[in-house]
Amino acid sequence: MNTTCPNCQSQDTQAVRMVIAAGTSTGLGHGVAMATGGAALAEFATTSKTELARKLDPGPAPSIGLLEFLGWAFIPLGLFIGFVMGASGGAGWGLAGLGLFLAVIGRSVTSGKKADWTQRSAEADRSWVCLRCGKVWEPQL
């Protein structure tokens, strides 16, 4: 595989995944941050990346969105209220309907984000970066 930079012909190039792994600091920093809690750990891990690693890293896979989460939570809650209140349970059925609506909308938002991330991640797996000029490209096998 030819990994010479197509932009400046430099041999000083590296696989993107290597840059991300090398640019993400571990060890003491994590230990110190962990003492102050999970949120601080995540933030610390992010800020301890080098500028280049941060630019190239697609990050963790997106999790379920808030909208979809609320949707799935509203459905059983609404059904429960509807069943418990019987004839006067209109609000419950309405809530379940709203939940279904949110879940459907939220699902499409979530899957859009996932597709976007999958593509970015696959590109990061294939790409190399020039450490001299910063060019990112996909070497032909």
What letter does residue 133 receive in the DSSP assignment?
Answer: T
Contact positions with Zn ion (CB under 5 A) in 2-41: 5, 7-8, 10
Comparing CB distances to Zn ion, the nearer of 74 and 128 is 128
CB of 20 to Zn ion, least distance (A): 18
CB of 141 to Zn ion, least distance (A): 20
DSSP labels for 88-116?
GTHHHHHHHHHHHHHHHHHHHHHHHHHHH
Identify which range of 68-76, 88-96, 118-126, 128-136 contacts Zn ion by CB under 5 A. Answer: 128-136
Give the containing element (helix H, strand E) for 61. none
Task: Report if residue 135 touches Zn ion, rule: CB under 5 A.
Answer: yes
Task: Give Cβ neighbours of residue 54 (< 8 Å, ≥ 6 apart).
Answer: 23, 46
Enumerate binding residues for Zn ion (CB under 5 A). 5, 7-8, 10, 130, 132-133, 135
